[in-house]
Amino acid sequence: MRKPRNLSREERELWHRVASRTEPLVRPGPTAQAPPGKAMPTAPAALPKAPIQPFRIGAAAKTSARPAVSAGRQDSHVTMDHKTWRRMKGGKLSPEARLDLHGMTLEQAHTRLSSFVESSAARGLRLILVITGKGRPGSQASPIPSRTGVLRRQVPHWLGAMPVVLQVSAANRKHGGDGALYVYLRRRRG
């Protein structure tokens, strides 16, 4: 162990000037006292809650509480009947209606998807197929990697926010595979 060095006169004066202007972080009360030579630990301050900002056009939307499904994975959160889900994932159920979004912009696709899902639910359909496509491969010459399949990534989020949608899942290979989604709708209450 090292022997502590003695402070010079200037160092002691400086220390006393600094120490005389400081205040303890927590003042020890009658029950809490700081051990000699050690400061009392401070309680963490509660963080202020951020105010809710209004939504602005062009800003990123908040995600829904229900997990959205990416088109390339199987669902880890099944909200529908498991037997029906297995039949659907195996391609044994035939979709009652289909919507092809190839070649549409995000705005066009969102409008068409919303009206298609709502009209399908109003008609009492349960299983519909939404074809997004896999997306164009990006340019290999670019040093910056680009993500492909804008609709393929965005459509599951839109569907997850719709109250009439019970389950979204990647389609079976015979119905389009990774380029399509099964959308299982809630039963209408009548």
What mean pLDDT comes out for the span 172-178? 82
Residue 99 lies in a domain: yes
What does the block give as tokens for 151? 């609709």
pLDDT in tens, 121-167: 999 998 899 998 887 666 566 666 666 778 888 899 899 889 999 88
Strand intervals (E) in 32-174 = 97-100, 127-131, 165-170
Per-residue model confidence (pLDDT) at position 74:
41
Residue 66 lies in a domain: no
Q: In terms of Cα–Cα distance, which of 124, 143, 125, 128 is closest to 182?
A: 128
What does the block give as tokens for 104? 């549409």
Q: What is the mean pLDDT of the chain?
A: 76
Q: What is the CATH number of the domain that holds 123?
A: 3.30.1370.110
pLDDT in tens, 22-40: 877 776 565 555 556 655 5
What does the block give as tokens for 6? 């003695």
- The structure's pTM equals 0.55
Q: Which domain holds residue 97?
A: 82-135+148-185
Residues near 80 by beta carbon (within 8 Å), at least 6 away in sequence: 166, 167, 184
Number of folded domains that form the chain: 1
